[in-house]
Amino acid sequence: MKKILVTGGCGYIGSHTVVDLIENGFDVISVDNNSRSSARILEGVEKITGKKVKNYKVDLCNYDDTFAIFQENEDIAGIIHFAAYKAVGESVAEPLMYFENNVVSLINLLKCVQEFKIPYFVFSSSCTVYGNPDTIPVTEKTPPKPAESPYGYTKQMGEQIINEFSKVNQVQSILLRYFNPVGAHPSIQIGELPIGKPANLVPAITQTAIGKLPQMKVFGDDYPTRDGSCIRDYIHVSDIAHAHTLSLQYLIEGKSAKTCEVFNLGSGNGVTVLEAIHTFEKVSGVKLNYAIAPRRSGDVIAIYANNELAVKTLGWNIRYSLDDMMLTAWKWEQRLATDSKMYNRQNAGLN
């Protein structure tokens, strides 16, 4: 079995990808300092796959500690790099913390790729690299615009660093630009664990519906869209996860002729905030308590993906609908409410 190193394997998309990799015959190790995640999520991974996944609790900004992982695992066949800070608002308040954490960790990892001759590297990028696009849907050829936040800049910089590095090293890389990952694994054994008050829409919806939040705010209904609220491309986290497995298989099977390729991971459907809320109410049977509030600074008016390249090149088939996304997110929130002892990080801080 080929061994894959997943950085951020205890995170939301990371843990779902670990499940998908194992289900597709890979051996997986995780590197995650658990600064923004809980190693307990790997208990859920084990419940789904039957496999205990080893996590190295290491900060990738520490080069020596990172190097030691590769010394201990000479058989790493590929890397998927998720580990990064990703809170847009926090990045505006703490730019240096974001540039240092997200860029230094990547550079340390790439130094190990060079030293240990790791042949394949998949990078967690984001639609945020497009900024506020002039035309939608966006394709991989849509020129990136200035990012809306330091977080977005770290993704743009990460892509450039990997692209230049791959040109002069024996490694093939794939950059995956996620749109809005939402939902939870259908088993409801793993899901999103937002820290504190959620910034993202779907956790805000489910926490309001379960009563953890008194009311959620819709940030603006006066945009030039069909119902005045912003348009996004929501995509189930398990569909995003499977695209990572397909990317590695595509590289391992020698189907890529390039040193670095980019793929949009979105459903291809633009959905407004109010449509997302109404879909949640339909599938959950819960009337959501929300109020219209002023626009949130930095919000893109509308963006959704042209995902044809990933569908055609990687053979990526999207399995989950918006209904599935909302229903699994809701079931996961209900699970958290009953099993909060398992995921006490939300209430009593990170463990």
* Cβ count near 13 (within 10 Å): 24
Determine if 278 is a binding residue for ligand WQD (CB under 6 A): no
Site string for ligand WQD, 72-101 (x = CB under 6 A): --------------x-x-------------
Site string for ligand WQD, 134-173 (x = CB under 6 A): ----------------------------------------
Determine if 40 is a binding residue for ligand WQD (CB under 6 A): no
Interface segment toward ligand WQD; rule CB under 6 A; list 28-36, 188-196, 217-225, 340-348: 217-225
Residue nearest to ligand WQD (CB): 230
- Per the CB < 8 A criterion, the answer to whether 288 and 208 are in contact is yes
Indicate the residue among 22 and 322 with the shorter CB distance to ligand WQD.
Answer: 322
- 26, 153, 178, 316: which one binds ligand WQD (CB under 6 A): 178
Pairing assessment for the beta strands 234-236 and 180-182 based on DSSP bridges: parallel
What's the closest the beta carbon of residue 241 comes to ligand WQD, in angstroms? 14
Residues 129 and 170: their CA atoms lie apart, in Å, by: 26
Which residues, 6+ apart, have CB-to-CB distance to 27 below 8 Å?
1, 2, 3, 4
What's the closest the beta carbon of residue 13 comes to ligand WQD, in angstroms? 9
- 199, 286, 288, 311: which one binds ligand WQD (CB under 6 A): 199
Phi, psi (rounded to 5 degrees) for 57: -80, 80
Determine if 296 is a binding residue for ligand WQD (CB under 6 A): yes
Taking CB under 6 A as the criterion, which residues in 224-253 touch ligand WQD?
230, 232
Determine if 273 is a binding residue for ligand WQD (CB under 6 A): yes
Show which residues are catalytic. 151
Nearest to 206 by CA among 217, 218, 216: 216
Determine if 201 is a binding residue for ligand WQD (CB under 6 A): yes
Determine if 105 is a binding residue for ligand WQD (CB under 6 A): no
133 upstream amide cis, omega within 30 of 0: no
Residues 51 and 5: their CA atoms lie apart, in Å, by: 15
What's the closest the beta carbon of residue 74 comes to ligand WQD, in angstroms? 32
Determine if 219 is a binding residue for ligand WQD (CB under 6 A): yes
Residues within the interface to ligand WQD (CB under 6 A): 86, 88, 126, 128, 178, 180, 199-201, 204, 216-219, 230, 232, 273, 296, 299
